Amino acid sequence: MILFARQLWVPFRSPEPGRFSMLKAFAIQLYSRVSYLRYRMNSTCIFCKIASGEIPAEIVYKDELVTAFRDIHPVAPTHVLIVPNKHIQSVSQAEAEDEQTLGRLFTTARKVAELDGIVDAGYRTIVNSGAHGGQTVFHLHMHVIGGQRMKYPMG
């Protein structure tokens, strides 16, 4: 519990919070940690259920390794999530045997961009990992975000 409280405190100690307000960073990390606790307690994974077709999503691409579907809360005209069909919690749990699947995330990002007609304009790919990365669903996923100019700075 003490360790948990100390980790939550980290954004307030950050010497360079940048333009990302400390309060917003704290809220995202708190949400990430609560989501992780819920995931551990339920032992169910929403993205496994989407990949298996158990619950609905707007699927844009699927093959033997990955599934791509539209984010339920899009932050841009294109906001697609690409997930391995196999459950991998995050980048930190990926193994050498997952390298083909991890590569497929990138080639699928290009396919998604082609489908949405944003290849030439450009787009952003993001993979959040763990609480400080802002991960809220603990099944590795790549965001493909585009259709508008992205904001800077990141972080």
**Prior bond of 11 cis (ω within 30°):** no
Q: Which long-range contacts (CB under 8 A, 24 or more apart) does 124-129 make?
A: 124/150, 127/91, 129/90, 129/91, 129/92
The residue (of 113 and 140) whose beta carbon lies closer to ligand 5GP is 140
CA distance 10 to 5: 9
Largest CA distance in the chain: 49
In the chain, DSSP finds a helix count (H) and a strand count (E) of 5, 5
What residue number has its CB nearest to Zn ion?
45
139 binds Zn ion (CB under 5 A): yes
Cα gap 120→48, rounded to integer Å: 32
Q: Which is nearer to ligand 5GP, 108 or 135 (CB)?
A: 135
Residue 139's binding partner out of ligand 5GP, Zn ion, none, with CB under 5 to 8 Å set by partner kind: Zn ion
**Residue 86 binds to Zn ion (criterion: CB under 5 A):** no
Count CA atoms closer than 13 A to 108's CA, side-chain side.
27
Told to check if 45 binds Zn ion by CB under 5 A, we report yes
Nearer to Zn ion, 67 or 78 (CB): 67
Query: Which residues ranging from 57 to 76 are in contact with ligand 5GP (CB under 6 A)?
Result: 57, 69, 71-73
Should residue 108 be labelled a site residue for ligand 5GP when binding is judged by CB under 6 A? no
Cα gap 117→144, rounded to integer Å: 13
Q: Which is nearer to ligand 5GP, 36 or 118 (CB)?
A: 36
Residues belonging to the active site: 141
**Sites of contact with ligand 5GP (CB under 6 A):** 46, 57, 69, 71-73, 81, 128, 134-137
**Sites of contact with Zn ion (CB under 5 A):** 45, 47-48, 87, 139
